Structures are given as C-alpha cells and as structure tokens.
Amino acid sequence: PRHEQYSERASKQQNRTYSIKAERGIIYDRNGEILAYTKDDVSLFADARMLRSKPKRINLLAEKLAGVFNTKPSKYVSLIKRAKGNVCLERKISKEKALLLNEVVIDGFFKSEDYTRVYPYSNITAHILGYVDDKQFKGRAGIEKLYDDLLEGTNGTLHVENDAVGRHLSIDYDNSVMPTPGYSFKLTIDKVYQKILVEELKKILLEAGFIAE
C-alpha cells in the first residue's frame, strides 16, 4: 500500500494542470477602430530557493537572459541571490522575446502569461470604456465592467506531463481544454466625433474658468 501511495504521489508530481487565460474580447467603435484590446505579454521568474545552491545554473540563466535583453548577467545574478522565493526577472516582455528563450530549460526558471489591456485612445474614451484591474483582469468600470462576463471568455486547462525534475515533456491534449475567447463589442460611438466632443467640452470649461490649462 505504501508503494502504491508513493507511486501515486510521483505521478501527480510529474503530471500537472495549468490554467490557460482566455483572450478578452476587443472593443471597437462604430467604424471598426479598435478602442480596447489585450496584449499577451509574458513575465519571467526564477525560484531562488531552487537555484541558490546551483551557482553554475544561475550564471547560465543570467547569460542567456543578458543576451536576449542586451544587458549584463550581473543584473539577474543579483536579483536571484537577493531573493528568498520566486523573483521576477523581466516583466511584460513580448511573445516574440519569449520565443527566443524557448530553448532555455533550466530548473527553477519559468514563464508566466502577463496580460496588459491597451486603450489606444484612453484620453477620449476612458469614461466610456472604464478599465480592468491588473491582478484579476476583471472589468472595474464602464463597458469593461458592464459586460465583463461576456468580454472575459472562458479559461482553459492544459495538462502537461513532466519528467522527474519537473521539465515539460509533452502535452496531454485529450484531457486539455482550450480557452474560449470573450465576445467582442462594436459600440455606437465614433472615435473622430468623440475626439471633437472632448476637445470642445475642454475648450468651454477653460473659457468658463472651471479648469486650468
């Protein structure tokens, strides 16, 4: 029985399930101009506890990162040695940059999706669109909050088979569920007219002395 218990524990350690964030829907104006979209960035982390006793591994990782980000390896060595647990090495890098690190398989180094909601015309649409918070990526005001359930979509799950030290070997697609993207919305507002309206309102408020330039 104890042997079966250990075997089951080892199996669970080698097979893990990860949540896959659904892509949040896009918000357009009446002419199809994008007012809000999601940039799927990636952040890089290191488990300092796992790496601290492996100086050669730290140096190798630091050199790989320095080559991609055109900086000094000492930056990453210092971050890892000062940390007590997980430490962020680079925040919100592009998927293109992340692809350059696909061959870097070092125990204690991992990537995490780190989405950013982008509002190209926030100065004229913020009061209508609202915003999403950085931590939970939930709508907190405006259209983003009103239609949050439809915009956010449904997250998926990815079943990954790892080796004994935690390195990814293969993906179990039969038991994985791909995320369902959120609905996109086309509003009745016109970005050009909205800009004119905001500028005219600002002009009136300036002339009336309600705001300063």
Q: Report the pLDDT value the prediction gives residue 174, as an integer from 0 to 100.
A: 85
Note the pLDDT of residue 53. 85
Greatest CA separation for the chain: 83
**Considering the chain, what percentage of its residues have pLDDT values greater than 70?**
89
Query: Which amino acid makes up residue 66?
Result: A
* C-alpha span between 4 and 50 (Å, rounded): 28
Tens of pLDDT along 139-183?
A: 999 999 999 999 999 999 888 776 655 555 567 888 889 899 999
Cα(78)–Cα(62) distance, rounded to whole angstroms?
Answer: 10
The more confidently predicted of residues 94 and 1 is: 94
Tell me if 51 sits within 8 A of 58, measured CB to CB: yes
Q: What is the pLDDT of residue 211?
A: 81
Give residue-wise pLDDT tens across range 180-207: 999 999 999 999 999 999 999 989 988 8
**In whole numbers, what is the pLDDT of the chain averaged over residues?**
87
Convert the pLDDT of each residue in 63-118 to its tens digit: 999 999 999 999 999 999 999 899 999 999 998 899 899 888 888 899 988 889 99
pLDDT of residue 165: 54
Mean pLDDT of 41-57: 91
Q: Which DSSP string do the residues of 79-148 spell out, in sequence order? A: HHHH-SSEEEEEEEE-HHHHHTTTT---TTEEEEEEEEEE-TTHHHHHHHH--B-TTT--B-SHHHHHTH
Phi, psi of 65 (to 5 degrees): -65, -40
* pLDDT at residue number 147: 98
Q: Is 25 buried (19+), middle (13-18) or exposed (0-12) by CB count in 10 A? A: buried
pTM: 0.76
- Phi/psi at 23 (nearest 5 deg)? -75, 125
Burial of 176 (0-12, 13-18, 19+ CB in 10 A): middle
Cβ atoms of residues 39 and 98 within 8 Å: no
pLDDT, tens digit (0-9, with 9 covering 90-100), for 120-134? 999 999 999 999 998
Which three-class secondary structure state does DSSP give residue 19? strand
